[in-house]
A = this chain, B = another copy of it.
Amino acid sequence: MKSNLHHILPRSGVLRSHSTYYKPQIKTFSGTPWRYIRTTGMSDKELSAIRIDRDRLWKDLHTTCEWGKGERWGENATDIGMSRLASSDADKQARDWFVKTTQDLGCDVNVDAMGNIFAVRPGMDNSAPPTYAGSHMDTQPTGGRYDGILGVHAGIEALKTMKDNDMETEYPTGVINWTNEEGARFPISMISSGVWAGAIPLEKAYNLREVGSGNATQKSELERIGYLGPLEANHKANPIAAHFELHIEQGPILEASGGKIGAVEGVQAYKWHTITVNGRDCHTGTTDFQNRSDAMLTAAKLILHSHNRASEAGCLASTGILTLKPGSTNTVPGVVQFSLDIRSKEDAALLQLEETLKSEFSKIAQGEEIGGLNARGTKGRGCTVKWQLDTDSPATTFHEDCIKCVEESVSDMLGTSEGPNVQRMTSGAGHDSVYTARRAPTSMIFVPCRDGISHNPAEYCSQEDCGNGAQVLLGAMLRYDRLRASRKT
């Protein structure tokens, strides 16, 4: 079989065999002489003895957070949020650090056409694809230091730990930094893993314009910062054997239950829409309520209604963006656009909510009484409502092999997987793992974050929880490597 690694490293110019930097050496392990540690030869107990360096992880993470610092929220040196938008100058600095650090570790590092960076530490058999840890280093405009960043750093820490222990995995292992996971600057989230998975066309991703008044596109900015790579952004050309993603929970569940690790079984379904309400501009002082087509008042009703209906259905609905025209205190807005993000654990429930809202939004905008929204005010002339679907992410189910590796790794770390220490969970947020799960066995590892706060400068994950997560990530990767080898024989 031709080496897949050759496919993902076609133009690096430095295709090194693992023997270049893993000099055969004699050590003893379990009392036996050996050259390097292989997972297949290790017992569970031996595997569990391989420990990451928690201080190094913490230090490295806060070092790279110097690039793209956001708002200060507390008094400690690291009580500062992040504002590292995708393909910004700060993102380039973080990427340069990622490349240098993983190359120094002996990885082959390649960049694909979406700027995704794949750092691969060769194993014994490099004809098969790598087992990856992956996440992202871009942040929300007012984000924190852990969302995405922790997952990438934990992956690097796992590779460092393997090197420190002179381990050689059966198959290659690696770390991925996915581009623009947040969708905060170029407004489709997980867009680059989506292109890799064949779910989003490359041209669509390239042409995506930055939010706000700028003219930069995803492609022009990748080019500008030097991360428009030569590798094809495609799961066939550049396959993944498995994808593990450590991430802060971004919600309150683990903290509330005292859990240390969430073994994530899957991800909520969600859809993002842009809703446009068309009314008519008029003067606020001279136009009585009967004669108005007030797009802002209508939008307020629809936002409230989406919340009410989602509450009833056990789903979520949120509006994070709203713009209006013309935008003058004494002019009733003629046009309002707002984002509507709806989520559910089940695809069917989400579809039902969407259909209900599509039908009822128009009726409410025309003044029909639904859910109390038009019960008390004065009926105006009505507005019209248009829906545009921006993102459709069906519910995702992760791979049982990967979930089990995570659970076993927790047991390795804690000596038990009983009690509240580890619990199976569903992710409320989308992650790059949603797209990798379409093409490769995938699961995620959640660690608690304080008060469930995320997408906020004050997002916080303790050093202990960061370390726990990275330890479990390492263990899951090693166990998966051993599992792959065991199935081959």
Enumerate chain A interface residues (CB-CB to B < 8 A): 140-142, 182-184, 187, 189, 211, 249-252, 268, 270, 272, 280-289, 291, 294, 296-297, 299-301, 303-304, 307-308, 310-312, 316, 318-322, 324-334, 339, 341, 343, 371-373, 375-378, 390, 427-430, 452-456
Contact = CB atoms under 8 A, between A and B. Distances in A.
A287 B284 CA distance: 37
A305 to B, nearest CB: 9
Given A303-B300, A373-B304, A286 B251 contact: yes
A421 B68 CA distance: 67
Contacts of A283: 250-251, 428-429, 454-455
Given A184-B328, A376-B371, A454-B282, A297 B319 contact: yes
A431 to B, nearest CB: 10
A280 to B, nearest CB: 7
Contacts of A371: 376
A359 B372 CA distance: 22
6 contacts: A187-B329, A251-B286, A287-B454, A294-B307, A322-B322, A331-B455
Given A250-B285, A272-B330, A307-B377, 17 more contacts: A211-B327, A251-B288, A252-B291, A283-B454, A286-B452, A286-B454, A289-B311, A296-B322, A300-B304, A318-B332, A320-B327, A320-B329, A320-B332, A322-B324, A330-B429, A332-B455, A372-B376
Nearest to A141: B326
Contact of A307 (B249, B270, B289, B324): B289
A466 to B, nearest CB: 18
